[in-house]
Amino acid sequence: MDRTNEAHEAEPEVRHTVADGVATVVISHPARRNAMTAAMWRELPALLDGLGRDPAVRVLVLTGDGGTFCAGADITSLSTPAPEESPQDLAVRAEEALAAFPKPSLAAVRGYCVGGGCQLAAACDLRFAEEGASFGITPAKLGIVYPPSSTRRLVSLVGPGTAKYLLFSGELIGTERALRTGLVDEVLPAGELGKRVAEFARVLTARSQLTQAAAKEFATGRTDRDAHWAEQARGSGDTAEGIAAFLERRPPRFTWNV
């Protein structure tokens, strides 16, 4: 059997690797443009929980297998879910787990980023895309009410106008418009996405996790942990280390860990 056939017949999975402080999570379902099956949705929250607790992980990169990020939910696998959980429940649970990941998360997008795939990308802290990628949210094509939490997250990211455009029409937009509206943070020429993501991930792993973790909570609008972060800052030693490293012109050795 040739490699092309092997790829198309591969079992759907969410796989991951950890190297140099970066956890890379890959959505892999090549036969259906990396559409998420019910089993894949269920697997993601537990995987993210484990990676979030792993002190060796400082940054999360979410991407798709091959030339596509994720074409959404695999409708065929979601048509008969378990009685206690709807397809939307599965997707929202995974999305919320990704949004709550305690360390910086970055979606690296090639090709289609549609439906549930766009839902996952929006739940990441940052999104880098390769030129030619397509973004869309398609519940209006299926008569589905998009989840309230997902709608609010989309509005906070791109504003009400673009959110309505995407949700009302189900139409796809390209990287130029995605960049202009804030749906993506950087657009890279073909062949350069992997290099840029690896480079930026290295930057993030060198920075203070204390700064990142506090900023992530503040940016989401959380207001009940101000005292907690002030206490963490006083006791961490990261500030003293950062200033000392700057004055000594050396890389800082931050020690605070999520």
Q: What is the DSSP string of 158-193?
A: HHHHHHHHHHHH---EEHHHHHHHTS-SEEE-TT-H
Q: State both tokens at 69.
A: 């990020």
> Which stretch of 1-10, 11-20, 35-44, 242-251 has the lowest confidence by average pLDDT?
1-10
CA-angle at 101, arms to 159 and 35, nearest 5°: 70
Q: Which residue has the higher pLDDT, 8 or 82?
A: 82
Task: Read off the amino acid at residue 22.
Answer: V
Q: State both tokens at 46.
A: 């537990």
Rounded Cα distance between 164 and 145, Å, is 13
Cβ atoms 111, 132 nearer than 8 A = yes
pLDDT tens, position by position, 72-113:
888 776 555 555 677 789 999 999 999 999 999 999 999 999
Cβ atoms 28, 12 nearer than 8 A = yes
pLDDT tens, position by position, 216-225:
999 988 899 9
Count helices and strands in the chain by DSSP H and E runs: 11, 9
- The end-to-end CA distance of the chain, in Å, is 46
What's the pLDDT score for residue 83? 53
**Phi and psi for 78 in degrees, rounded to 5?**
-100, 0
Is a pLDDT exceeding 70 seen at residue 133? yes
**Phi and psi for 56 in degrees, rounded to 5?**
-75, -15
Residue 7 binned pLDDT confidence (cut-offs 50, 70, 90): very low
Is a pLDDT exceeding 80 seen at residue 2? no
Per-residue pLDDT, averaged over 45-60, amounts to: 97
**Phi and psi for 117 in degrees, rounded to 5?**
-65, -45
What's the pLDDT score for residue 5? 44
DSSP code of residue 130: E
What's the pLDDT score for residue 78? 54
Rounded Cα distance between 99 and 79, Å, is 26
pLDDT tens, position by position, 163-187:
999 999 999 999 999 999 999 999 9
